[in-house]
Chain A
Amino acid sequence: MPPLISIDVLLIAACAWLAIGLAGMLAPRRLEFISKTLFPFGSVVSFIVGVTALFFLGDEPQATVLAIGLPTLPFHLRLDNLAAVFVLLLGFVSFGISVYAAGYFRKGEGAAPGLLCIEYHLFLASMLMVLLADDAYAFMVAWEGMALSSFLLVTTDHRHEAIRRAGYLYLLIAHVGAISILLSFGVMTGGAGDYTFAGMRAQELSPFWGSAAFLLALVGFGAKAGLVPVHVWLPEAHPAAPSPVSAMMSGIMLKTAIYGLLRVCFDLVGTTIWWWGVVAMAIGLVTALFGVLYSTVQSDMKRLLAYSSIENIGLLAVGIGLALLFHSFHMEILAALAMTAVFYHCLAHAGFKSLLFLCTGSVLHATHERSLGRLGGLIHRMPWVAWLALLGVIASAGLPPLSGFVSEWLLLQAFLFSPGLPHSWLNMIVPVAAAVIALVAAMAGFAMVKFHGIIFLGQMREPNLIHAHDAGPWERAGLVWLAVLTVLLGVLPSTLIGLIDGATQQLLGTGLAGRVAEHGWAMLAPISPDRASYMPMLFLATIATVLLLARWMVRRFYHGRTRRSDAWDCGYFFQGPRAQDTAEGFSQPIRRIFEPMFRMERHFPSIRDEQPYYSVKVEDHFWYWLYLPVARVADWVSGLIVRIQGGRIAIYLLYSFLTLLLLLLVARP
């Protein structure tokens, strides 16, 4: 018997997930068995997947062929470094989510627990298969499995009309994307009919067909990732889904789309043209700015996070664009810098965004409330969730010393080198794009302060919040694990960059590992310490030392006495919870400054109103600019088609006959 290699372990893990899912169907109503036995088993499998990828990173690719699939095209599977980085992400992040989910699902919420269990584990297994697939057919099967299982998970609470609508929208856009991906694969086979990825790599595409494949892939994977303008499903589907599912979709599933884009752009197409980078970067910048602007004005906590995910996907697209740009001019070290930023941001975002989504899940369970306007002061009742969410908030705002900062720092460093581009106007425009990145990062801070401040701080906006309870032990364990990932990614950048460097080397032929390793684990200096350096540990240690020392000295030389009283508030007498900012009030400056960016319906009371009220409804321009016109055209076209549908079987048989005749005419041998 040959020794067990990594790819076998991963295949066994996928089967184990499926088995766990099926086991849930044996007793679909027994919540205790499913949540406290099966989900922990699933999380153990996740952990094994993560560890396997961790040990694999840096090794030679492993391939295998399964005996299922099409007659001429069995399933080809391959584990290489690019896939392994994302498998690592999938394993470790889903471990935290599964542990959390063990304590999350309650009786009487939506679908039967058994159904949830099989959908959830099918979702995990299909994501793993997407990453391992080595031919177009296996990839599309796994991709569809992922889309369908996540659709079912989104519509868990299918009794609500709004949730069914959100699910439908998600499914629709996922399939538009899937068609585009399929066409992209078709183009890349170059007419040779070999649908394995190895066959695609062997094809030499002309610049025209290469560009066609790239653009189709950008649309297809962009639809899954949430690039503007195909982002509209994200803010609908994320709030609709149960929180662990939102965390999984935002943290992991969006990254499979990034994986697909990287796989096509850097591995399968084979050529790179500089304007691809410009296109990806432009779309990324628009997406990032759009996402962050809308996330600041949301009043629903999960929508806020969904828009923030759009922002992060935008940043990833900018990184990919930059890497493509450098790669096309053969500036491989700089491309490696941008590529490392992309990988790092994938890992960082998966950690902190899952953490934040799970925190909203705990808040949702404790309060049954998603609207920011009815929350507040929860840090007193839920200190664990509040403090762990604070870590996620700092990371998400891209601030040191946590994970989000490292990737933004790497990205900005890559931008600083762009004046070296051998192209007359690019080298001037590209650095200015960094200004947009800076604006996006700073506005993410605004959105995150709003998120944390309104949910957890201040006074409770509703009296029943006093009964809120902190997260249970399972939920807490899952949150702590993700918080630990966020902190580790923040303070050990050099070690982790060394780990994921195999993927960068695979795509670009060169990596940063050598340069980074020179300076030890504590210092991150991707090019040289004179040029730029960042030592998160020293950074953290200094702040912590000052914090403790200042505290000790104040107590030593003065005192630590504290009295409690009513708030001062400039002596203002009314201090009830209604005097605080609402979610809408907090983002008023943004709505005012960026007014043209939003579609707003506002109502202001007049002097004579008996019952005055204010209201503001912020909507997405893209609905009115793009989706509703398309929907109207589709309606109109189907109205025309209705005319030929007489409802009599003889007529339909006639149509079939005519079609057959036409086909025979056209497709003569």
Chain B
Amino acid sequence: MISISGLLGQLFAIALALVLAPLLTGWVNQCRAVLQSRSAPPLLQPYFMLHKLFRKDVVMAHSASSLFRTAPFVIFGCMLLACAIIPSLSTDLPFAPAADMLALVGVFGLARIFISLAAMDIGTSFGSLGGRREMLIGFLAEPALLMVIFTTAMISQSTSVATIVETLAHRDFIIYPSLAFAGIAFTMISLAENARVPVDNPATHLELTMIHEAMILEYSGRHLALIEWAASLKLYAYSCLGLALFFPWGIAEKDNFLGLIGAIPLLLLKLGIGGFVLALIETVNAKMRIFRAPEFLGTAFLLAVLGLLVRLLLETRV
């Protein structure tokens, strides 16, 4: 059942995710700097950063427990698994049956629980603040994400990521209102889940506003490196998921080696545009108060439900 080419393709996809994820973060930072008329950091800055962090000693608080040391590895593992399941180049992924879309949400949930618990482990005021806010964002975003998934799953009659992407890619190019709603909702959720403006700001250590940064304040050295890497993998995973669901054209299917080669530049192009759009959104929006976040995510949720209802009401059954 598992072909050699499939397995190679799978390993290649994982390796590509590991390599491309920091690049994507670097690209978004560059775009943002240019849009905000700042001088941009080098494109490869995230790699330098990771290398530097890996070399440094870990400085851990006295009250850190074994959970604190384990969490970065678990989070990294979860994000890598997510990247392995989401089709970026090809839908022929031997790991894909391990988790469908619902389980994918579960993977992100597992990582979230671990990072929140690790944040609470030291017992500082910022840590527990970050953990609580992260869980807040999580439980608001997760149902919305599930509704988006339900909409796509109802179109393709499946929750398997590969089947959904194949079905969507084979449709004629028509704008489906349900998918449009789902797409907007998904964008909003991705912003919240990846700690981006307007929900969180990855560039700030301004105490009262931070969420993600508050949780990882106590991390240093290799642990911090893994968490940062995992964060960029998460951004990469969400970008690939968005591209695969809403712009699936060009993703290769089973036993199509040429398609695989052709898919690489297309993926780079799509990610490049996606990263630019993300930077644009972050530039034109202001960060909002934490208690506006429920409204923001509530809107995303309602849009997703609307998409589902539109699907059920207006669009013909397959």
Contact of A562 among B60, B78, B124 (CB under 8 A): B60
Is the Cβ of B142 less than 8 Å from the Cβ of A558? no
Find chain B residues with CB under 8 A from A568 CB: 61, 217-218
Find chain A residues with CB under 8 A from B47 CB: none
Find chain B residues with CB under 8 A from A563 CB: 57-60
Is the Cβ of B158 less than 8 Å from the Cβ of A580? no
Q: Does A499 contact B (CB under 8 A)?
A: no
The CA of A572 and the CA of B126, in the complex, are separated in Å by: 10
Q: Does B129 contact A (CB under 8 A)?
A: yes
Is the Cβ of A570 less than 8 Å from the Cβ of B117? no
Q: Does A405 contact B (CB under 8 A)?
A: yes
* A409 and B102 in contact, given A445-B135, A554-B54 (Cβ under 8 angstroms): yes
Contact of B103 among A386, A405, A438, A572 (CB under 8 A): A405
**Which residues of chain B (44-65) have a CB below 8 Å from chain A?**
54-55, 57-65
The CA of A568 and the CA of B123, in the complex, are separated in Å by: 11
Nearest CB of A to B137, in Å:
10
Nearest CB of B to A268, in Å:
34
Q: Does A85 contact B (CB under 8 A)?
A: no
Q: What interface size band does chain B fall in?
A: 35 or more
Contact of B301 among A435, A530, A532, A562 (CB under 8 A): A435
**Which residues of chain B (137-157) have a CB below 8 Å from chain A?**
138-140, 142-143, 146-147, 150, 153-154, 157
Find chain A residues with CB under 8 A from B205 CB: 570
Nearest CB of A to B130, in Å:
10
The CA of A545 and the CA of B128, in the complex, are separated in Å by: 30
The CA of A125 and the CA of B154, in the complex, are separated in Å by: 47
Q: Does B243 contact A (CB under 8 A)?
A: no
Flag A521-553 by CB within 8 Å of B: 1 or 0 each.
001010001111111001100111111001100
Is the Cβ of A564 less than 8 Å from the Cβ of B150? no
Is the Cβ of A562 less than 8 Å from the Cβ of B57? yes
B121 nearest CB neighbor, chain A only: A457
Q: How many residue pairs bridge A and B at CB < 8 Å?
A: 276
Find chain A residues with CB under 8 A from B274 CB: none
Flag A570-597 by CB within 8 Å of B: 1 or 0 each.
1010010101110001101110110000
A535 nearest CB neighbor, chain B only: B98
Is the Cβ of A445 less than 8 Å from the Cβ of B113? yes
Find chain A residues with CB under 8 A from B124 CB: 567, 569, 572, 575, 579-580
* A405 and B106 in contact, given A399-B113, A428-B312, A561-B58 (Cβ under 8 angstroms): yes
Among the stretches A134-142, A198-206, A411-419, the one at the interface with B is: A411-419
Find chain A residues with CB under 8 A from B102 CB: 409, 412-413, 532, 534
Is the Cβ of B95 less than 8 Å from the Cβ of A532? no
Is the Cβ of B142 less than 8 Å from the Cβ of A428? no
Is the Cβ of B312 less than 8 Å from the Cβ of A419? yes
Is the Cβ of A564 less than 8 Å from the Cβ of B125? no
Q: Does B159 contact A (CB under 8 A)?
A: yes
The CA of A449 and the CA of B133, in the complex, are separated in Å by: 12
* A566 and B142 in contact, given A438-B147, A442-B109 (Cβ under 8 angstroms): no
Nearest CB of A to B226, in Å:
7
Is the Cβ of B73 less than 8 Å from the Cβ of A446? no
Q: Does A310 contact B (CB under 8 A)?
A: no
Is the Cβ of B126 less than 8 Å from the Cβ of A569? yes
Is the Cβ of A534 less than 8 Å from the Cβ of B98? yes
Is the Cβ of B116 less than 8 Å from the Cβ of A380? no
The CA of A435 and the CA of B297, in the complex, are separated in Å by: 14
Flag B68-99 by CB within 8 Å of A: 1 or 0 each.
00100110111011001000000000010111
Find chain B residues with CB under 8 A from A439 CB: 139, 142-143
Find chain A residues with CB under 8 A from B157 CB: 531
Find chain A residues with CB under 8 A from B95 CB: 538, 542
Contact of B291 among A394, A565, A592 (CB under 8 A): A592
Nearest CB of A to B275, in Å:
25
The CA of A580 and the CA of B63, in the complex, are separated in Å by: 13
Nearest CB of B to A666, in Å:
57
Q: Does A93 contact B (CB under 8 A)?
A: no
Is the Cβ of B73 less than 8 Å from the Cβ of A550? yes
Is the Cβ of A532 less than 8 Å from the Cβ of B309? no
The CA of A400 and the CA of B312, in the complex, are separated in Å by: 29
Flag A422-462 by CB within 8 Å of B: 1 or 0 each.
00000110011011101101110110111011100111000
Find chain B residues with CB under 8 A from A285 CB: none
Q: Does B131 contact A (CB under 8 A)?
A: yes
The CA of A579 and the CA of B207, in the complex, are separated in Å by: 14
**Which residues of chain A (383-413) have a CB below 8 Å from chain B?**
383, 386, 390, 393-394, 397-400, 405, 409, 412-413
Nearest CB of A to B15, in Å:
13
Find chain B residues with CB under 8 A from A545 CB: 77
The CA of A593 and the CA of B294, in the complex, are separated in Å by: 8
Find chain B residues with CB under 8 A from A448 CB: 113
A538 nearest CB neighbor, chain B only: B98
Nearest CB of B to A240, in Å:
29
Q: Does B299 contact A (CB under 8 A)?
A: no
Is the Cβ of B110 less than 8 Å from the Cβ of A394? yes
Is the Cβ of B305 less than 8 Å from the Cβ of A457? no
B69 nearest CB neighbor, chain A only: A562
Is the Cβ of B58 less than 8 Å from the Cβ of A558? no
Q: Does B39 contact A (CB under 8 A)?
A: no
Is the Cβ of A445 less than 8 Å from the Cβ of B112? yes
Is the Cβ of A531 less than 8 Å from the Cβ of B133? no
Q: Does B313 contact A (CB under 8 A)?
A: yes
Is the Cβ of B103 less than 8 Å from the Cβ of A400? yes
Q: Does B67 contact A (CB under 8 A)?
A: yes
Contact of A459 among B116, B123, B154, B158 (CB under 8 A): B123
The CA of A386 and the CA of B70, in the complex, are separated in Å by: 14
Q: Does A379 contact B (CB under 8 A)?
A: yes
Tell which of A380, A413, A532 has the most Cβ of chain B within 10 Å: A532
Is the Cβ of B159 less than 8 Å from the Cβ of A400? no
The CA of A448 and the CA of B109, in the complex, are separated in Å by: 12
**Which residues of chain B (166-224) have a CB below 8 Å from chain A?**
205, 207, 217-218, 221-222
Residues of B within 8 A of A (CB): 54-55, 57-67, 70, 73-74, 76-78, 80-81, 84, 95, 97-100, 102-103, 106-107, 109-110, 112-113, 116-117, 120-129, 131-133, 135-136, 138-140, 142-143, 146-147, 150, 153-154, 157-160, 163, 205, 207, 217-218, 221-222, 226, 290-291, 294, 301, 305, 308-309, 312-313, 317
Q: A386-B67, A393-B113, A580-B127 are in contact. List 6 more A-B contacts (CB 8 A).
A: A435-B143, A457-B120, A534-B99, A563-B57, A589-B290, A590-B136
**13 A–B contacts from the bound complex (CB under 8 Å):** A377-B63, A380-B63, A431-B154, A439-B142, A530-B160, A532-B159, A532-B160, A534-B100, A534-B102, A542-B84, A546-B77, A550-B77, A567-B122
Residues of A within 8 A of B (CB): 376-377, 379-380, 383, 386, 390, 393-394, 397-400, 405, 409, 412-413, 416, 419, 427-428, 431-432, 434-436, 438-439, 441-443, 445-446, 448-450, 452-454, 457-459, 523, 525, 529-535, 538-539, 542-547, 550-551, 554, 557-570, 572, 575, 577, 579-581, 585-586, 588-590, 592-593
